Amino acid sequence: MSRQVNIHEAKTQFSQLVDREHAGEEIVVAKDGEPWAKLVPLSAPPDRQPGLLKGLRIDPAFDEPLPDEELDAWNASR
């Protein structure tokens, strides 16, 4: 079930609208009768897995200066 509310109603009843959206109702906010926004639930962030990259090896040359040709190409694009 979808409910459309105007911006003024959304401002004055925001807490109630958020509660209704959280309960499963779709809330569409309209301006001059045209849909402009929709209240939607936030999805839960993914579970973090500490140590996921443990043991990953980075090429030791990663921190080495770039060759002159490469630096020239970067500087030329500025």
Task: Give the number of other CB atoms < 10 A from CB of residue 7.
Answer: 13
**What is the rounded CA–CA span in Å between residue 37 and residue 24?**
17
pLDDT at 36 (0 to 100)? 95
- Cβ neighbours of residue 27 closer than 8 Å, sequence gap 6 or more: 2, 3, 5, 10, 17, 20, 21, 38, 39
pLDDT at 1 (0 to 100)? 65
What is the tens place of the pLDDT at every residue in 2-59? 889 999 999 999 999 999 998 889 999 999 999 999 998 888 888 888 888 888 888 8
